[in-house]
Structure formats: structure tokens, C-alpha cells
Amino acid sequence: MWQPSVHLTGRQAFRYPGKDFRRPALYNVSCPLAMEVLMLWNRWFFCLLLSFICGLPLQSVASLAAAVETPTTASTELLLEPGSKDQEQTNKEIEQLLKSIETQWNAHNLDAVMTFYADDYMNNDGLDKKSVSALTQDFWKTYPDARSSSQTREIRIEGGFVTVQSRDTAVGTTAKEMPGIGTKGELQSVSEGELYLKKLGPSWRIIGDRIDYERVRVSFGLAKQLAASFSAPEQVKAGKQYSGKLELNLPAGLMAVGSITSQPLQYPQPNPTDAWRPLDGTTLERVMMANSKNRNELLMATIGVTNSARNSLMGIAFLTRRLNVVPTMDETQDTSIVTAAESKDKAESKEKSESKEKSESKDKDKEKNKSTDKSH
């Protein structure tokens, strides 16, 4: 069974065109004459405002504004760090690497794909390189025609480390038909996340990745045309309640049964255990509790499409999505931080108390010795 929690889809370099900060986005002016009129209006409005606040003659303020007017021909694009030739070369290397990963992934070449991973790879779900390899192999067996494509949103270079932000999609068809329905399943997946790379010798290797958002749908039979949505929060605190909601738009003459489950992400992923419930309306909602172990979770909504008598299964769909669980600081940790200043006083008080006890103990020993001497 495919584990949608792991960021396995290939990546293809894509760059957005640079933003033009010289054009006020609020007005979206493209006509040169309109732009000139707008800039004159902005200039004189500024003069009026400054004249009103400072009590200066309007002519004086206008002269000042003309002196500080920004040239329209100068580029004002913000660059926190200027690019270098080394960074340009690194950027080309990363783009080529991403294309190679996607090519080998779509060719289902497991050995080639795993060479892109560092031996100490670990993702934000706690899976290592060995688990990802087994997971990828299982996925390709389940969906032998699976293909993926990626759009790189940003490449950040920090010396020997690189972070790639991407949006990945995958499609495929199951190898086997669903028993009782007689059709193969169709896979649709979309995810967004980050890929972390490190320069190891002459090559770049994947040392980790994280998924911020992910939705997957696998449909069989009549469920392929079913309009359904599964909503839930993308992030929740550990040990806190949240709800998942399934909404359907059933064709006339059809009924549905369904369930909503949640499990901490792991490999291999156990099968969810939850009884199907008849959907009398178009909505099924369930309140759940996030695990307290800070493990990300896999949410799954299962929909069975039946005839009006609910005695014949005509389609089934699995809608999964990711829930990122963030740690919650417990009360003892919180108290220790808040009362850190007080802990020093407590320690000093304890030392004084122990010193006093030792002094009293010595006094008692002296009294005991005196009484012993008198008895002799």
C-alpha cells in the first residue's frame, strides 16, 4: 500500500519570473501616460500632506519632493544577499539534479533514485533511507505506471547546504482491480514541502525533507466521478482535539457509507480499523485527538458508493491528507522556565537550611558528649 506521507515524487526545476517592484501593485497601471499622471498625483498629494503637518509653504515642500523623487529607471528589487558566480553555478547544479531525480523516479529506477540520498538521511516523519527505499518499491508495485512532476518554487543556497521548496503532483493506476467492483483505481496526489541537500564531496545528496501539505485520492468504480471533499486542519498541537469533515454530492439513486480514521505516520502503516457508517445526509464529521507523542498523522476518509438498498458496493474512494503535529510544552517544563529566577533563591534557601541542620546536629553532639562526661 502506498504511503502518501513520504515526499517521494520527483522534482523538476521551475523558476518564477522576477517581480517588478517599480510598478505599484495596487493600481496595476500599464499605460505610460496613466503611470505618469499617477506619479504626479502621488507626488503632489505627498507635498500637501507634508505642508499640512509641518506648516511649510507648499512651494518649498514641492522643491524638496522633486529633489528626493525616485528615478523611474532605477531597479528597486530587494536583494538581501547579492548573487555570486559560485551561487549561479550551484543553482545550475541543483536544477540539473532535480531533473535527474524526476527522470529516474519516473523510470522507476530504484537504485538510481536511492543514490541521490545520503546514508544518514532522515525526514520529518522519522523515516530513514532504508524505509524510503522499501516504501518507494511498494509504491511502484501498487502503481506500476505512476508518474510525477514538480514545480520548484524557490532554491536557497547557504554555502554547502541547499533548501528546495516545491509543489509535487503524482498520478497512476493500481496494478489490480478492486474485488467486487471490477475496476482499477486511479491515483491523484498533490503535496508541498521542502527538500534539504548537502554537498558531500563533489556531489549533492538529500539529507532530509519535510511535507507541509499533502492530499491524496484513490478512486474505484463509480467513485471516480464522485464529488467529494475531505477537510481537516493542516497542523494541530499534540494531545489537542480536532475534527475531520467529509462532504459528498451523491448522484440520484445512490447511497453512501463512510468512515474517518487517524493514525500516527509510520512504516509499515497498519490498516485502519473503523466501522463504516451510513451517510443519511451529505456530511460525515468526526472529532479526534492528536497523539501526544509529537508524531505526524495520516487522516483517511473512506467512501463506499452503494445502490439505494445499500446491499451492493458500486464504488469506493480513499481520501487521505496529512496532519502535522507540533509539540506542546508540558506544565513542568513551562514552570521551570517561568520560575528560573526563583530557583536560585530556592537553592540558596536549601543551602542555608542544610547548613543550619548541620550546626544543630553539632550542638546536639556536644550536649550529648557533656552529659556523658558528667555521668562518668
Q: What is the CATH number of the domain that holds 277?
A: 2.60.40.730
Domain boundaries, position 37: 32-68
Q: Return the SS3 of 38.
A: helix
Residue 358 — pLDDT band, cuts 50, 70, 90?
A: low
In-domain check, residue 372: no
Q: What is the pLDDT of residue 129?
A: 96
The count of domains in the chain is: 3
Specify whether 124 is located in the same domain as 205: yes
Specify whether 339 is located in the same domain as 241: yes
Which of the two residues, 95 and 67, has the higher pLDDT score? 95
In-domain check, residue 143: yes
Q: At which residue does the C-alpha cell 540520498 appear?
A: 117
CATH number of the domain that residue 100 is part of? 3.10.450.50
Average pLDDT of the chain?
77
Specify whether 125 is located in the same domain as 274: no
Residue 247's beta-bridge partner residues?
229, 283
Largest CA distance in the chain: 119
pLDDT-wise least confident of 150-154, 264-268, 302-306, 340-344: 340-344
- Supply the pTM of this predicted model: 0.66
Report the alpha-carbon distance of residue 155 to residue 90 in Å, rounded.
10
**Cα atoms found within 13 Å of the Cα of residue 213, Cβ hemisphere only:** 11
Domain boundary among 218, 241, 264: 218
Specify whether 159 is located in the same domain as 179: yes
Specify whether 7 is located in the same domain as 46: no
What is the strand order of the sheet 227-231 is part of? Answer: 227-231, 241-249, 283-289
Pairing of strands 241-249, 283-289: antiparallel
Residue 348 — pLDDT band, cuts 50, 70, 90?
A: low
Q: Do 304 and 316 form a contact (C-beta atoms < 8 A)?
A: yes
In-domain check, residue 357: no
